[in-house]
Chain A
Amino acid sequence: MTQKLVVIGAGMASGRMLEHLTDTDPGAYDITLFNAEPRGNYNRLMLSPVLSGEKTYAQIVTHDEPWYAARAIDIRFGEPVVKIDRRNRTVVSASGGVPYDKLVIATGSAPFIIPVPGRDLPGVVTFRDLDDTDAMTAAAAKGGHAVVIGGGLLGLEAAAGLRMLGMEVTVIHLMGHLMERQLDPAAGYLLQKDLERRGIKVHCKGATKAILGDGRVEAVLLEDGTTYPADLVCMAVGIRPETRLATDAGLDVARGITVSDAMETSDPAIFALGECVEHDRQLFGLVAPLYDQAKVLADTLLGQPAAFRPVQTATKLKVTGCDLFSAGDFAEAEGREDIVFRDPGRGIYKRLVLEGDRLVGAVMYGDTADGAWFFDQIRSGADIADKRNTLIFGPSAGTADPLAAVAAMPDSAEICGCNGVCKGRIVQAIKDGATDLDAVRATTKASASCGTCTGLVEQVMSLTLGDTFQMPTAKPMCKCTDHTHEDVRRLIKSMGLKSIPAVMQELGWTTAGGCASCRPALNYYLIADWPLEYQDDRQSRFVNERNHANIQKDGTYSVVPRMWGGVTTPTELRAIADAADKYNVPMVKVTGGQRIDLLGVRKEDLPAMWADLNAAGMVSGHAYSKGLRTVKTCVGSEFCRFGTQDSTGLGIKLEKLLWGSWTPHKVKLGVSGCPRNCAEATCKDVGIICVDSGYQISVAGAAGMELKETQPLALATTEEEAIELTTAFIQLYREHAKYLDRPYKWVAKVGLDWVIAQVMEHRTALVERFEVSQSVYRRDPWAEHAAEATKWAPMADLTLEAAE
């Protein structure tokens, strides 16, 4: 008698398996096929174009009624199996039981629903089958706002589809960049840019807190407090293997149903394939390996020995106009090398990962024409030693243009900020005969003031004049780029670059993730230029700024609370003494900056100690930051018989205004009440000497590795004016200086005259921009981090583990 084969699930995997089986031996089994969905096999991948309206359901059906009829397959669609009875070898559904000799479980997977309040509201959907797709199409017909939770492959295809149907779409993604499992940050950035260009809003690092609505969904609330209006919410955060039947039947199930190389479960009469299985600790979420499983299982069922071996998979996003490709393993590892190619002008990024002389991974964005060819190289493990130099250009090699970033700038982009000269004007001047730098300066004024844009002007000249122009060599920022610090600063502004991946992509970084030298600098430039839009990247900060304390030679930390203008109170001193006792501080020291240093604190004690100091009204002294440090004062007119003005009061006002701001290097101020200068103001970054007629403001002093007396900036007649001029100077420094240049170095480069002219002419605007930045940064980091004490402790303690 013919053996009975029952298949649970009519999906992509089982459909392919049935094809192999019935093509090879049509009479081998009497087949019954159950499916929970009220329809047979269709191409699930193509639900995305169905959603966007580019295809219809009829076009994606893979097996129709005549196909099953021709193979005498007993189809039970819309009839979910509810139980597997292994003892009686029967599967149970609503209409009763069907016996089997061999059983195949192909139940696929179910969308993962994040357990937030409101997840059950009407209007919250997932994206898995035709019913979901129809529900979204129906909702989209009414227009309005859609929020897609999850910026992976599925979520983005849903978002693009909904957008094409005319909805306002926002994608919320938990991680720092889109499709982080398939793409590196650079490619993720380009993808985001493309989606934004078609009107899709993307919110990365967004954790959903709740779905809000009265009776049906109305909005989505994030942990950071942002809310997005929503008439439709699509949850696409991941999938989980559908293993319930197998678990209930007592089969071995880990994350998926455990199968052998032959696709056999722990019961020799039962087999499984597709997204519901786990093979060799691995789960599957793309069809290519599932098709291989289908072939193996068909062979197994026909008594032919066969073994499943997972293959490399490649991903493409099915969103028209977003060209991305990723394949193989693109993580960095020992012995691996990156070849990175960026063409910012055309929005292209390609990264190849080599291991020895073999290609092991590839990520591409913007131009994926060679994707298949690279994928082939990866799978075949071909030796690429001889084509290494041109490999990145694919089978038909071309050439890269090192000036691409500048070439990509529109004519209206500003090159020289001081004199407001755009690229177009420089190009015109060159065409009109200005063929050397001096001539360009003379005719356009570009780079004729502070000079930091000289490199850019030269690049424009090189582009316009070609080989006839000899580029002088300037020192690049680090080994990751050919641009100088100054060029990078200028390009960040003129090209509107607002994230580290954006800078690295648009300016053609040659490494994938930068280095310990460029990342802190870029993080600073972005904070300074886009205080409201840019999110500080803690992992790109040096240890002291990351931990808000100075690391000591033995790995402990020092804690310095702020003492505004060097003034303290008995209460503060008591709180400091208490903290020193409580946390066994080995040394309490008065610093050279008029405050108290608690040295030798253990990292895990920091948050508790901060909380104690906060409770006594003290905040971080930022003794660790490239930012405002101290404002040293003398007693001034309040107590001193020679004092001309309230130097202590002015110092405190300045410190309260400036604290928390990030600067290219540290900034220290001094305010002395008279020319006797007891606050040593004339060797600070900004020094103010009070005189009868007002306030002498001088800048660019130093008393560290170099000794420099300050130079006069201006004389202010009122306290307000002194504060305004000081703030304007610091903002100018924040906007222009190279990272890790103290003001004295920067002023030496751009010239004191230029600085004075800028401060005088633009003081109001400079102060306004400083205030905008301070609306974000004038806050105590200690208070913020004291709340998350666990993050400062070891993540695990194994000292007991070994003692047992």
Chain B
Amino acid sequence: MMIDIGPLSDIPRQGARVVKTPHGCVAVFRTATDQVFAIDDACPHKGGPLSEGIVHGTSVTCPLHSWVFDLNTGMAQGADEGTVATYAVMVEDGRILLDAAWLRERSAA
């Protein structure tokens, strides 16, 4: 199930916005080249809001203690170890569609 969460233009290039869900916030990123990624907005280190990190290439640096995550995989880079959940997103007609099937699955569980 793809849910329309808003226009791509609502997110600045090299920035992110959050989507509230019953299971916590999801951070939706837009890169310099207009790729869009969605990951959990909580850093596995100490819960830092990844949506507030600096976006470079397809990575984000956590604003609290500077762990770096690959937005494609949700995996911490370099010496740090940890992973955040990633979600399917796509852009169609300038609108961002987020795959929210997991929302139901989780709430049913």
| B6 CB contact (under 8 Å) in A255, A330, A796 | A796
| A802 CB contact (under 8 Å) in B5, B48, B63, B104 | B104
Across-interface contacts of B25 in A (CB, < 8 A): 794
Docked complex Cα distance between A514 and B31 (Å):
13
Across-interface contacts of B93 in A (CB, < 8 A): 255
Query: In the complex, are the beta carbons of A799 and B20 less than 8 A apart?
Result: yes
B100 at the interface (CB under 8 A from A): yes
Supposing A330-B33, A332-B31, A551-B64 touch, asked if A795 and B48 sit within 8 A by C-beta, the answer is no
Q: Tell which of B25, B34, B56, B106 has the most Cβ of chain A within 10 Å.
A: B56
A554 at the interface (CB under 8 A from B): yes
| A519 CB contact (under 8 Å) in B21, B54, B73 | B54
Across-interface contacts of A538 in B (CB, < 8 A): 12, 15
| A539 CB contact (under 8 Å) in B6, B12, B106 | B12
Docked complex Cα distance between A512 and B63 (Å):
22
Residue of B nearest to A255 (CB): B93
Across-interface contacts of B53 in A (CB, < 8 A): 516, 543
Interface residues of B in 14-60 (CB under 8 A from A): 14-15, 17-22, 25, 28, 31-35, 46-49, 52-58
Across-interface contacts of A803 in B (CB, < 8 A): 22, 107
Query: In the complex, are the beta carbons of B100 and A798 less than 8 A apart?
Result: yes
Supposing A520-B54, A543-B63, A796-B20 touch, asked if A334 and B13 sit within 8 A by C-beta, the answer is no
Query: In the complex, are the beta carbons of B15 and A539 less than 8 A apart?
Result: yes
Interface residues of B in 48-80 (CB under 8 A from A): 48-49, 52-58, 61, 63-64, 66, 68, 70, 72-73
Query: In the complex, are the beta carbons of A332 and B22 less than 8 A apart?
Result: no
Residue of A nearest to B23 (CB): A802
B interface footprint on A96-131 (CB within 8 Å = 1, 0 otherwise)? 000000000000000000000000000000000000
Query: In the complex, are the beta carbons of B52 and A551 less than 8 A apart?
Result: yes
Residue of A nearest to B52 (CB): A543
A542 at the interface (CB under 8 A from B): yes
Docked complex Cα distance between A25 and B63 (Å):
67
Query: In the complex, are the beta carbons of A795 and B18 less than 8 A apart?
Result: yes
Across-interface contacts of B52 in A (CB, < 8 A): 543, 546-547, 551, 555
With both chains docked as a complex, state the minimum distance between the C-beta of B77 and any C-beta of chain A, in angstroms.
11
Docked complex Cα distance between A546 and B68 (Å):
19
Supposing A551-B64, A801-B3, A801-B103 touch, asked if A795 and B54 sit within 8 A by C-beta, the answer is no
Interface size on A, residues (CB 8 A): 41
With both chains docked as a complex, state the minimum distance between the C-beta of B76 and any C-beta of chain A, in angstroms.
14
A interface footprint on B77-104 (CB within 8 Å = 1, 0 otherwise)? 0000000000000001100001010011
With both chains docked as a complex, state the minimum distance between the C-beta of A360 and any C-beta of chain B, in angstroms.
13
Docked complex Cα distance between A539 and B48 (Å):
18
Docked complex Cα distance between A801 and B22 (Å):
9
Residue of B nearest to A538 (CB): B12
Interface residues of A in 212-266 (CB under 8 A from B): 255
A474 at the interface (CB under 8 A from B): no
| B103 CB contact (under 8 Å) in A176, A520, A798 | A798
Docked complex Cα distance between A542 and B58 (Å):
17
With both chains docked as a complex, state the minimum distance between the C-beta of B69 and any C-beta of chain A, in angstroms.
11
Residue of B nearest to A511 (CB): B57
Docked complex Cα distance between A334 and B58 (Å):
8
Across-interface contacts of A541 in B (CB, < 8 A): 54
Interface residues of A in 520-551 (CB under 8 A from B): 520, 538-543, 546-547, 551
Docked complex Cα distance between A206 and B32 (Å):
18
Docked complex Cα distance between A798 and B20 (Å):
6
Supposing A511-B57, A516-B53, A543-B63 touch, asked if A333 and B103 sit within 8 A by C-beta, the answer is no
Residue of B nearest to A798 (CB): B21
Supposing A255-B93, A542-B63, A554-B47 touch, asked if A797 and B55 sit within 8 A by C-beta, the answer is no
Across-interface contacts of B21 in A (CB, < 8 A): 798-799, 801-802
Docked complex Cα distance between A176 and B104 (Å):
39
Residue of B nearest to A514 (CB): B56
Supposing A796-B19, A798-B100 touch, asked if A553 and B46 sit within 8 A by C-beta, the answer is yes
A343 at the interface (CB under 8 A from B): no
Docked complex Cα distance between A335 and B71 (Å):
12
With both chains docked as a complex, state the minimum distance between the C-beta of A797 and any C-beta of chain B, in angstroms.
4
Across-interface contacts of B57 in A (CB, < 8 A): 332, 511-513
A82 at the interface (CB under 8 A from B): no
A281 at the interface (CB under 8 A from B): yes
Across-interface contacts of A543 in B (CB, < 8 A): 52-53, 63
Docked complex Cα distance between A86 and B47 (Å):
61
Docked complex Cα distance between A538 and B55 (Å):
11
Interface size on B, residues (CB 8 A): 49
A185 at the interface (CB under 8 A from B): yes
Interface residues of A in 753-804 (CB under 8 A from B): 794-799, 801-803
Docked complex Cα distance between A555 and B62 (Å):
11
Docked complex Cα distance between A332 and B100 (Å):
25
Across-interface contacts of B73 in A (CB, < 8 A): 334
Docked complex Cα distance between A540 and B33 (Å):
15
Docked complex Cα distance between A101 and B19 (Å):
52
Query: In the complex, are the beta carbons of A539 and B18 less than 8 A apart?
Result: no
Docked complex Cα distance between A542 and B53 (Å):
7
Docked complex Cα distance between A255 and B92 (Å):
10
With both chains docked as a complex, state the minimum distance between the C-beta of A223 and any C-beta of chain B, in angstroms.
14
Query: In the complex, are the beta carbons of A794 and B19 less than 8 A apart?
Result: yes
Query: In the complex, are the beta carbons of A795 and B58 less than 8 A apart?
Result: no
Across-interface contacts of B19 in A (CB, < 8 A): 794-798
Query: In the complex, are the beta carbons of B103 and A331 less than 8 A apart?
Result: no
Docked complex Cα distance between A180 and B31 (Å):
12
With both chains docked as a complex, state the minimum distance between the C-beta of A240 and any C-beta of chain B, in angstroms.
11
Query: In the complex, are the beta carbons of A333 and B35 less than 8 A apart?
Result: yes
A515 at the interface (CB under 8 A from B): yes
Docked complex Cα distance between A555 and B107 (Å):
25
Query: In the complex, are the beta carbons of A334 and B32 less than 8 A apart?
Result: no
With both chains docked as a complex, state the minimum distance between the C-beta of A159 and any C-beta of chain B, in angstroms.
23
With both chains docked as a complex, state the minimum distance between the C-beta of A446 and any C-beta of chain B, in angstroms.
35
Supposing A513-B57, A796-B19 touch, asked if A331 and B64 sit within 8 A by C-beta, the answer is no
Across-interface contacts of B6 in A (CB, < 8 A): 795-796
A646 at the interface (CB under 8 A from B): no
Supposing A331-B31, A333-B72, A513-B56 touch, asked if A794 and B12 sit within 8 A by C-beta, the answer is no
With both chains docked as a complex, state the minimum distance between the C-beta of B47 and any C-beta of chain A, in angstroms.
7
Query: In the complex, are the beta carbons of A799 and B22 less than 8 A apart?
Result: yes
Docked complex Cα distance between A771 and B55 (Å):
33
| A332 CB contact (under 8 Å) in B3, B33, B54, B63 | B33
Query: In the complex, are the beta carbons of A794 and B20 less than 8 A apart?
Result: yes
Query: In the complex, are the beta carbons of A795 and B70 less than 8 A apart?
Result: no
Query: In the complex, are the beta carbons of A516 and B54 less than 8 A apart?
Result: yes
Docked complex Cα distance between A795 and B3 (Å):
13
With both chains docked as a complex, state the minimum distance between the C-beta of A659 and any C-beta of chain B, in angstroms.
24
Residue of B nearest to A546 (CB): B52
| B55 CB contact (under 8 Å) in A333, A539, A799 | A539
| B17 CB contact (under 8 Å) in A332, A555, A794 | A794
Query: In the complex, are the beta carbons of B103 and A802 less than 8 A apart?
Result: yes
Residue of B nearest to A338 (CB): B57
Listed from nearest, the 3 A-B pairs whose CB atoms lie closest are A334-B72, A516-B61, A539-B14
Using a CB–CB cutoff of 8 Å, the interface residues on chain A facing chain B are 176, 180, 184-185, 255, 281, 330-335, 511-516, 519-520, 538-543, 546-547, 551, 553-555, 794-799, 801-803
Using a CB–CB cutoff of 8 Å, the interface residues on chain B facing chain A are 3, 5-6, 10-15, 17-22, 25, 28, 31-35, 46-49, 52-58, 61, 63-64, 66, 68, 70, 72-73, 92-93, 98, 100, 103-104, 106-107
A-B contact pairs, 26 of them (CB 8 A): A281-B92, A330-B33, A334-B58, A334-B72, A334-B73, A515-B56, A516-B61, A519-B56, A539-B13, A539-B55, A540-B54, A542-B54, A543-B63, A551-B64, A554-B47, A555-B48, A795-B18, A795-B19, A795-B28, A796-B98, A798-B22, A798-B103, A801-B3, A801-B21, A801-B103, A802-B22
* 7 extra A-B contacts, CB within 8 A, seeds A331-B33, A795-B5: A512-B57, A540-B14, A794-B19, A795-B17, A796-B3, A796-B19, A798-B20
